[in-house]
Amino acid sequence: MAEYRYYLIPDGMTRAFPEQFEKQTPTEFFDNIADLEKRYHQLREMPYNNERTWNERARFPYARLVVGIDRQNPDGAVAIIQVRNGINYLCDDYRGPYADRSDTRIPQMAEKLVEVIGVDRVRPHTYTQRDGYTWVQVEKDMHITEWLYAHELCSGLHFTRFLNRDGRELFQVRDGQRVIETNADGTKQLRAVKNIDVTHAYVGHYGCHIQQYADANFKSGCYVTPEHPQPGDNLDRLQIFQITADTDYRFMRYSYAQNRIRAADYSSVYLANLPQDYDLEKCFREFNAPCRPCSRRMRSLSVSDIVVLEQGGKEQALYVDSVGFQDVSHLLPELHEIAVQRQKEQVQDEPER
């Protein structure tokens, strides 16, 4: 009679590159899922699991923490979850041509494992038989909700969509994962997410409508990102800096200020997720309207302010001139350094309910 147990490999890269590590991390075995879950959580937030790696040949990050199912008599093991670049990937080996499809215990245990641990993405494999050989085609890396066979193991998972002010999706967060809320002064708050229904969720202690949450963050100036971003996430950003030091070029046109501008004279006064198709002219109009965002903590957008737009990973800094905007992107490294120096607090994790 076959015997089953769960297994865990703390770091798969120690086996892929033994020459780079002092020793390989041994496989650990568990007779029950509660002990496995406890050990998994001890290891999941270790820094190496969030390191950026890349397998150039496979065009995919390397697997670090690995969780799966081991079978004895007859022998066989199948990986179910692999942590790659800080993201939980479902391993679809359980559907492969070498899997024992008559063994119903493996899918049952795998479904429970996915429910307890959670997965976010998958890179499926398609197998075809041709000329007596098994040919493997690697499909695109996708969110688990996009996968045709997600219902097999992942029907118990719940995801919350986070939206931008304009209603477009920014990213998805699985129950139990966290988002980071960053304010203009650099203070951050980690909040756990729990889905309520299609349009409502708990973000930390507070139940909210996902569109109202987006609107409130843009109004108050709060930039929201997942703790572990995924490919395809929209992390575009709008930030505004205003002069807070005693200078002679505040509210002055660029032709006068260009040789006087110093990043140290500025402070970050606004930060939020950037709406799609949000141009500088729209930004200027909105931040001068009577009902403008963040009206209690910053003055209206004026000459000498600097607007920073980050779109698709590319940043641009623009000086508000008397007419139009002037590119001052050379100041970006100093502006970021000043923002970090003036950060009031480190990231704080909100206490659980």
Any long-range contacts for 101-105 (C-beta under 8 Å, 24+ apart)?
103/2, 103/71, 105/2, 105/4, 105/71
Tokens standing for 186?
């650099």
How large is the average pLDDT for residues 212-230?
Answer: 96
**Residue 220 pLDDT > 90:** yes
The answer to whether residue 353 scores a pLDDT higher than 70 is no
Instruction: For residues 218-223, give the mean pLDDT.
Output: 96
What residue segments make up the domains of the chain, in order of their start? 3-154, 159-233, 237-341
Give the pLDDT confidence of 26-63 residue by residue, as tens digits.
999 999 999 999 999 999 989 999 999 999 988 899 99
Q: SS3 letters for 245-269?
A: CCCCCCCCCHHHHCCCCCHHHEEEE
Mention every residue, 6+ apart, whose C-beta is less than 8 A from residue 262.
247
- Reply yes or no on whether the pLDDT at 352 is more than 60: no
Strand partners, 206: 203
DSSP output for 96-127: STTS-TT-SHHHHHHHHHHHHH---EE--EEE
Which pLDDT does position 273 carry in this prediction? 98
DSSP 85-99: TTEEEEPGGGGSTTS
**What percent of the chain lies above the pLDDT cut of 70?**
96
* Whether 136 contacts 124, CB under 8 Å: no
For 80-128, the pLDDT digits (tens) are: 999 999 999 999 989 887 788 788 899 999 999 999 999 999 999 988 8
Closest to 183 (Cα-Cα) out of 320, 342, 333: 342
Per the structure block, which two tokens stand in for 270? Answer: 């606004």
**Euclidean distance between the first and the last CA atom of the chain, given in angstroms as a whole number:** 44
Statement: residue 282 has pLDDT above 70? yes
Angstrom distances, CA of residue 218 to CA of 165, 181, 187, 274: 7, 12, 16, 9
Give the other-Cβ count within 10 Å of 99's Cβ.
15
Summarised one tens digit per residue, pLDDT across range 283-311 is 999 999 999 999 888 999 999 999 999 99
Q: Which helix (H) or strand (E) holds 210?
A: helix 210-220
Q: Are 221 and 271 in contact (CB under 8 A)?
A: yes
Q: Which residue has the tokens 């477009």?
A: 168
Owner of token pair 């997600």: 150
State how far the Cα of 306 lies from the Cα of 325, in Å rounded to an integer: 9
- Residue 126 main-chain phi, psi, to 5 deg: -110, 130
Q: How many other CB atoms sit within 10 Å of the CB of residue 238?
A: 23
pLDDT on residue 130? 81
Whether residue 75 contacts residue 98, with contact meaning beta carbons closer than 8 Å, is answered with no
pLDDT (tens digit per residue) in 173-189: 999 999 999 999 889 99
